[in-house]
A and B are shown apart, each in its own frame.
Chain A
């Protein structure tokens, strides 16, 4: 069997196994959503977005600035021995945490309402690390267990055979398509599969995901985990707009937020990756709207999975289509290749994806995320109280609906302005000012569309 066939067989088997997983006993996650935003606030944000877009055309800078700002300045040399020790500790923590969640999933209490697996994986890992990546930097890179495991295994294997450890191959096949498949698999699991909060299902998903990552590394070389791990690619992509980053020589640097996007490597698969993430968050917002209650709310079991899978694919498709239309129009205006423009402008969508993540998941993290205090005292649901926090009661009023609404509105509005700024900067680095401004009409159009759509979903209509 060739490799794609083997991969397909593995995925097929995994799907069958998920089909056999027991149904959820409790829906601990996703049972609460935010109140609909007041219409005046939405109108304010939408108006601000449209107005700022037009201001951007005329009043933004006329020389590219982000590339220069992306160099930043050195904060700490991460190669110093004390920090390297911390780095090793972080890697061990990463492997340990993966182990805990897997163990909780497979052997802990099968009731998702008392098991740490769901809260750890779906809230703290998935949502928490996205927000940290945007606001601080790609912290996950220090903890990611897959390169650690792959590198350790390669080291042991080389020792056993008495060979030198081969260096990680350069990106011979620089493509992110495996990561697109990986992140879609996760998003399907999170948003479409009907029994996401079952600890056994989470354990199975993580086992298959980890298996594919490590098997791929064994077959394709250790470079595989660096281009196939959808989570790592997502955090790195979002982290490109963050203020802190680690440069090629291993120094921690500080730069203008957003500027790093101008240096995000765009390889085949990068733009589809961003569009899949953007589309999935849109779909997630859609499923929390009352409209979805009428379409898919009444479905249960695999019928719900099927309806959600269709919805997920359709929404991702529509989001991608809007982007494709915009880049085609831009190509017509500038006389360049649509495919090339689609590729080059892909990173400018990252701030919008980040804004969606903030708007949709902020309250989940600060409200449902508190459940982690309870879980760490009894991670496997066995009635333990390791840290005396097992009886903690979630404070659902720690942030008021007004605060949540403002975080959502401002998040979307700021994300929009950042996306417009990134696209403007890129356009003037390619074309003269007049052409750059004209080229941005379709891009602004699609960004306003995404923003208004994002706001509309917050209406909960």
Chain B
């Protein structure tokens, strides 16, 4: 399941990187964009910290699944996901750079998000 999800996400990333228009395959209700799923088990990110890349101008959805008791902070864009069992945030990736997505209180890095 996790593997499938990772494959889907990376395919979406790949499609987005190839010039977008990946909406046919996008079953995560995010038209022409990328969904980054953060899956938690016992408060920890499944698989540990990882890298994600999206294209400048993409619509990005960051979604947390599974219980987590800290806020999640998307740096640079300064967006927050509330603690709880499921939460998401959507934004236009208009700021280029590399940004940390991390657990706000403990400072644990979840994703290194590249927008280019």
Query: What residues of chain A have their CB less than 8 Å away from a CB belonging to chain B?
Result: 23-27, 30-36, 194-195, 288, 290, 293-294, 297-298, 300-301, 304, 396-397, 400-401, 460
29 contacts between A and B (CB under 8 A): A23-B105, A23-B106, A27-B75, A27-B100, A27-B102, A27-B107, A30-B100, A31-B73, A31-B75, A31-B102, A32-B100, A33-B98, A34-B97, A35-B97, A35-B114, A35-B116, A195-B107, A293-B51, A293-B109, A297-B49, A297-B109, A297-B112, A298-B108, A396-B76, A396-B97, A397-B94, A397-B96, A401-B97, A401-B116
Which of A33, A36, A288, A304 is the one whose CB lies under 8 Å from B107?
A304
Known: A32-B76, A33-B97. A300 touches B112 (CB 8 A): no
Extra inter-chain contacts (15) besides given A25-B105, A33-B98, A288-B98, CB under 8 Å:
A23-B107, A24-B107, A27-B75, A31-B73, A31-B99, A32-B98, A32-B99, A36-B114, A293-B51, A293-B109, A293-B112, A300-B107, A301-B107, A304-B107, A397-B96
Bound Cα distance from A294 to B112, whole angstroms = 11
Interface residues of B, count at CB 8 A: 24
Cβ of B80 to closest chain A Cβ, rounded Å: 10
Cβ of A194 to closest chain B Cβ, rounded Å: 6
Bound Cα distance from A290 to B112, whole angstroms = 8
Cβ of A374 to closest chain B Cβ, rounded Å: 12
Bound Cα distance from A10 to B96, whole angstroms = 44
Q: What residues of chain B lie closer than 8 Å to A32, measured between beta carbons?
A: 75-76, 97-100
Bound Cα distance from A33 to B51, whole angstroms = 13
Q: What residues of chain B lie closer than 8 Å to A290, measured between beta carbons?
A: 51, 112
Q: Any chain A CB within 8 A of the CB of B95?
A: yes
Is A301 within 8 A of B106, CB to CB? yes
Across the interface, name the chain B residue whose C-beta is closest to A397: B95
Q: What residues of chain A lie closer than 8 Å to B108, measured between beta carbons?
A: 298, 300
Cβ of B11 to closest chain A Cβ, rounded Å: 21
Q: What residues of chain B lie closer than 8 Å to A294, measured between beta carbons?
A: 49
Which of A34, A298, A304, A397 is the one whose CB lies under 8 Å from B98?
A34
Bound Cα distance from A26 to B79, whole angstroms = 12
Q: What residues of chain A lie closer than 8 Å to B95, measured between beta carbons?
A: 396-397
Bound Cα distance from A249 to B51, whole angstroms = 56
Cβ of B1 to closest chain A Cβ, rounded Å: 22
Q: Any chain A CB within 8 A of the CB of B21?
A: no
Bound Cα distance from A36 to B76, whole angstroms = 17
Bound Cα distance from A293 to B107, whole angstroms = 13
Across the interface, name the chain B residue whose C-beta is closest to A296: B109
Q: Any chain A CB within 8 A of the CB of B48?
A: yes
